[in-house]
Structures are given as C-alpha cells and as structure tokens.
Chain A
Amino acid sequence: MFSASALACVRGERAVFAGLSFTLAPGGALVLVGANGAGKSSLLRLMAGLLKPAAGHLAWDGADIADDYEAHRRRLRYVGHADALKPALSVLENLRSWSVLWGGRGGAAERAEAALEAFGIGRLRDVPARYLSAGQRRRLALSRLLVAPAPLWLLDEPRTALDVDAIARLDREVQRHRQAGGLVVMALHGGERPRRPRRSILRTRRRRPVI
C-alpha cells in the first residue's frame, strides 16, 4: 500500500503542485497525465525519494518513507528519462552491474540475461551499448525493472522511443508485475492516453507559483 497525503512540491521557487493525495493498493496502477511542466516527473522523483516534499507525506504501509529512505530504496525501481547506460560497456555488462547492486552477486548474470530476453534484446547481449538505437537503449533501461524483484515501479514516460513490439512487452511485464501484487506508477507524455480506462489516472495541474 503506497499513499500520499497533501503532497506539495516546490521546484526553483515555483510551486509545481500542492495538496495532492492518492492511495495505491497492491496490484494497483497509477497513470500520471498532464501538460509539460505539470509536475509528473517531479512527482515520480518525490515518490522515489530523490526529492523531498515541501509539505505532506508519502507512506508505504502507513510508515512515512522519510523515516527510512534506505528501506524505501530497496522496494522501488525507477526508470527516468536518462537511460543510465555506459556506451563503452556491453549490453550485458551494463545490466549485470545493476543486477549485482539490487540482487547480489549470486546469479546476477542469469537474472540480467532473463531480463534482456523479456524485452527482446537478448541477442544484443555482447554488443557495446554505444551501437544501440534509441529504442534499444530504452529497452535496456527498462530491463533493469526485472533484474531483481521490487514491489514499486516508477516509470517516467517509459514508452518514449519504443516500437509496437516493445510497448507490448512493457505492457505484458507491467501486467505480470501487478498480478504478482506489485504497484506501478507511470507518467505518460502529452499525447498519450492510457489504454485501459480502468486504471487510475491522476492529473497534475499547474498551480499558482509562490513567491
């Protein structure tokens, strides 16, 4: 159970949003839509603990995440705009590092390879990341979600640069994750609409700036 109460965010002396609340139950998904600058990315970074809320709380199973960021980091995967890839390392080497960091050394390479297969880039495993296309880089970034289990996925415009096949794979993994009781928060960029209207949608609106 992931919840926010009266959350407010200030970026560069500007109030991005305030008074934002939601509750997300196990298996739930939250889709963020809103215009540019509405605060979708800021909300995801707040949820990840990279930003501190100007007011309000984020809670996991009732406990404020600010009390124990370390525990919170263990339960989340965040895929932001940057792909966090090293061009000089091969696809597998890139992913293996994250696999070790999150899941320990045991079986790290196997988990990484399975994740690559899930996103359809297993055959690229030995290719240096500098040769990847934008869509392939994105697939590799998304593969991080699968290297070790974590209940909360925070995805910032994950479909950017993905082709139809990759979007289908992403949707399948998201579905699987939710069926296993995982939570997903996903920001969609401007033109996109969530496919399944059943999903909860949170619209962040622009707020008046504050002096």
Chain B
Amino acid sequence: MLSGFLEVMRRDVRLAVRQGMDSLMAVVFFVIACVLFPLGVGPEPQTLARIASGILCVAALLAAMLSLERLFQADYEDGTLEQVALSPLPLEAVVVAKVAAHWLVTGLPLIAASPVLAILLQLDAKSYPALLAALALTTPTLSLIGAVGAALVLGARRGGVLLALLVLPLYIPELIFAVAAIDAAGFGYPVQPHLLLLAGLLVAAVVLVPWTAAAALRQALA
C-alpha cells in the first residue's frame, strides 16, 4: 500500500516536471499578482510595508487555488481516475498522495518565492521567519481544502470560476491567521498562537479532507 501511495505521488511529480511550465504558472501568477499591488496603491514604502503581509497571503491563496483546478481534472478526463479508484489503494490515500505531489510542485515554489516578493513589498525584516512559517503551514491546508473543491467541480461546466466561488470563502480562516501571524511578528507580538491555530487547521484538514474529497470523487465517477 505504501508503495502504491508513493507511486501515485512520484507519477504526479514526474508529470509535473515533464510539463514544467504548468506548475511554474502558479509561481508566475503569484509574482505578477504581487507586483500589481504597488502599481495599484502607489510606491510609498510605508504603505506597502503596512499591507505587504495581506498582499502576499492573498496572492499566495489565489495562486494555490488557480493551480488546483487541474488536480483531478486531467485524470478524470483520460480515465486514470477510474482506474485508480479501482486499484487496491484506497481513494482517500490517492487524494493525500495527489495533494502531497501538488504541494511539492506548487506550494514549495510559492514559499521559496515569497521572501523575494517580501523584499519588493518592503515587508518588515522581522516578519520574514513568520512569513515562511505561516506559508509553510498554510499552503498544505489550501491544497487540501482546494482538493475537495476540485473533486466537486469535476465534469461541471465552467469548472474554474466555479472552483473559486466554492473554495475562496473556505480559505478565509487561513488568510486571517496567516496575516495575523506575519503582522504580529512585525509589531513584535508573540507569533506562536497564530501559528498554532494554523497548525490546528492543517491537522483538521488532514483528517477530514481525504475522506470528503474521496466521497466527492466517488460521486463524480458514478
């Protein structure tokens, strides 16, 4: 079973690497979205520093969401999903494997790109560790919650826009606690409580999402 789990993960990572541009799109989107904000609100360093945490988190959230649309879609269309559903590996494990692969190829690059963007947005240097920690705890949760949405919209008309409508309201707690953590670091307040809340949400998502997403996939295949 473990070998099957790793195989699904490895296969998705390999596919993402072969189709390199596809997974880079999320990071490119992240960068462009962040760059648009100074152009919109003006280049004053104080203004930017004040809203940098919010911009970074909102942009990361949108980037994660956009890349999720294809999480199950390709497998659904080419018949891979029904073959995987008929394999001995439980569908719940398939969901976790695919989400893990997705996070490796999109979540990690987002985290890696965030310090550079933080410099461009004049984020307080004290906030950098909190930024990285918050994104490290947030992005897996975003991928997990998004997986439920991605499974629900399989076979729907206008899947992409629909996914945004379903998933973005559910992302609100992530956004609030991540920004709170980064801001707290900037003001010199304790960061830990916010990070613990984010970790709690991640644990809850790890427990509940595979089960829900698998149910959604089953009804999509039926």
Establish whether residues B88 and A86, one from each chain, have CB atoms under 8 Å apart when the complex forms: no
Binds B, one of A32-40, A70-78, A112-120, A173-181: A70-78
Q: Specify the main secondary structure of chain B where it touches its partner.
A: helix
B87 CB contacts on chain A under 8 angstroms: 73, 98, 101-102
Q: How far is the CA of A49 from the CA of B84 in the complex (A)?
A: 13
What 0/1 readout, one digit per residue, does chain A (77-88) give for beta carbons within 8 Å of chain B? 010111111101
On chain B, the number of residues with a Cβ less than 8 Å from chain A's Cβ atoms is: 24
Question: Is A48 touching B86 in the complex (CB atoms < 8 A)?
Answer: yes
In the bound complex, how far is the Cα of B86 from the Cα of A101, in angstroms? 10
Instruction: Decide if B88 touches A49 in the complex (CB within 8 Å).
Output: no
| Residues of chain B in range 48-102 having any CB-CB distance to chain A below 8 Å | 77-80, 82-90
User: In this complex, what residue of B is CB-closest to A88?
Assistant: B18
Question: Quick one: given A81-B79, A84-B78, A144-B83, are A104 and B14 in contact (CB under 8 Å)?
Answer: no
How far apart are the CA atoms of A26 and B222 in the complex, in Å? 28
B220 to chain A, nearest CB (A): 11
Establish whether residues B4 and A101, one from each chain, have CB atoms under 8 Å apart when the complex forms: yes
How far is the CB of B78 from the nearest CB of chain A, in Å? 6
How many CB-defined contacts (below 8 Å) exist between A and B? Answer: 69
- Which of A81, A82, A105 is packed against the most chain B CB atoms within 10 Å? A82
- Least Cβ distance of A90 to chain B in Å? 10
Q: Are A93 and B221 in contact (CB under 8 A)?
A: no
Are B86 and A93 in contact, CB atoms less than 8 angstroms apart? no
Q: Which residues of A from 27 to 55 have beta carbons under 8 Å from B?
A: 48-52
* Alpha-carbon distance A30/B33, docked complex (angstroms): 58
Closest to A84 in B: B79
Q: Is A100 on the interface with B (CB-CB < 8 A)?
A: yes
Q: Which 3 A-B pairs have CB atoms at the shortest separation, nearest pair first?
A: A82-B79, A84-B79, A88-B18
25 A-B pairs within 8 Å (CB atoms) are namely: A49-B86, A51-B222, A70-B90, A73-B88, A76-B86, A80-B79, A80-B82, A82-B78, A82-B80, A82-B82, A84-B79, A84-B80, A86-B11, A86-B15, A88-B18, A93-B14, A97-B8, A100-B3, A100-B4, A101-B4, A101-B7, A101-B8, A101-B87, A102-B87, A105-B7
Q: A50-B82, A84-B82, A101-B88 are in contact. List 17 more A-B contacts (CB 8 A).
A: A49-B86, A50-B221, A78-B86, A80-B82, A82-B78, A82-B82, A84-B78, A84-B80, A84-B83, A85-B78, A86-B15, A88-B18, A89-B11, A93-B11, A97-B7, A102-B87, A104-B3
